[in-house]
Amino acid sequence: MALLRDAELAGAFDRAARTYDRMTSASPGYHRHLRRSARRLALPRDGADQSVLDLGCGTGASTAALLLAAPRATVTAVDASAGMLARARSKAWPDRVTFVHAPVEGMADAGVTGPYDAVFAAYLFRNLADPDAGLGAVRDLLRPGGRLAVHEYALGGRAVDRAVWSAVMGAVVLPWARRHGDEALYRHLWRSVLDFDTAGAFARRLGRAGFTGVRTLPQPGWQTGITHTFVATRPAS
């Protein structure tokens, strides 16, 4: 199947927004792993002057993870799906959280200009038509020395990683999606992970985009070899 892109993908997320939190909450470790990746940004917990961009915030699970990791940070949360953002905005947030509707390519037009002390991007880059351009935009939004954490399904490269991912999707996720009328989105999810970079390839992509200190950190449990945190830094000069 062809992967969904741009407006078509945003529309699929709009339609799925009504049940998205229910699906992710049923996934073992989903929120715990997001919190682990947010902590890996190593933001100061008392850093009231820290500005963080939550890129691809969805219904706000990554935003909540960031606020637990850095309770006093100012967070700008951006997503291309109006439906997902509506769900996020319906939740209770402190005044220092702002939600912005924009695709990665249109952030400047929406007033997202930085610079930011840190960027957190969960489940984003494999959904972009041009992930290299997306990484370039993120690099430009970071202050010199700013940190990036990418929380992503990026397979470890072993045959068993692909097999476990496809087994979970085929046995659990896709049947659930069919019952809720969201099969197109979750088939995209399945294929986008298989077609995207391995963890090693994405780490190298980060290096080519000008980031330094790139580290690839696994997640525990059944997602070992499937979900990773990538941390990197924009050079100070």
The 10s digit of each residue's pLDDT in 132-146 is: 999 999 999 999 999
- Separation of CA 178 from chain center: 24
Give, as one character, the DSSP assignment of residue 171.
I
User: Where exactly are the structural domains of the chain?
Assistant: 6-233
Stretch 207-217: mean pLDDT:
98
Per-residue pLDDT for 216 more than 90? yes
pLDDT of 26 reads 87
Cβ–Cβ < 8 Å for 76, 112: yes
Give, as one character, the DSSP assignment of residue 117.
E
Stretch 28-47: mean pLDDT:
91
The CATH classification number of 6-233 equals 3.40.50.150
Stretch 192-196: mean pLDDT:
97
pLDDT of 153 reads 97
The pTM (predicted TM-score) of the whole model is 0.96
pLDDT of 49 reads 82
| CA-based nearest residue to 55, from 130, 135, 109, 132 | 135
**Tokens, residue 110:** 């929406």
Cβ–Cβ < 8 Å for 56, 119: no
- CA separation for the pair 11, 61 (Å, rounded): 20
pLDDT of 1 reads 61
- CA separation for the pair 121, 234 (Å, rounded): 15
**Tokens, residue 153:** 């399904």
- CA separation for the pair 38, 181 (Å, rounded): 31
Tens of pLDDT, residues 52-101: 999 999 999 999 999 999 999 999 999 999 999 999 999 999 999 999 99
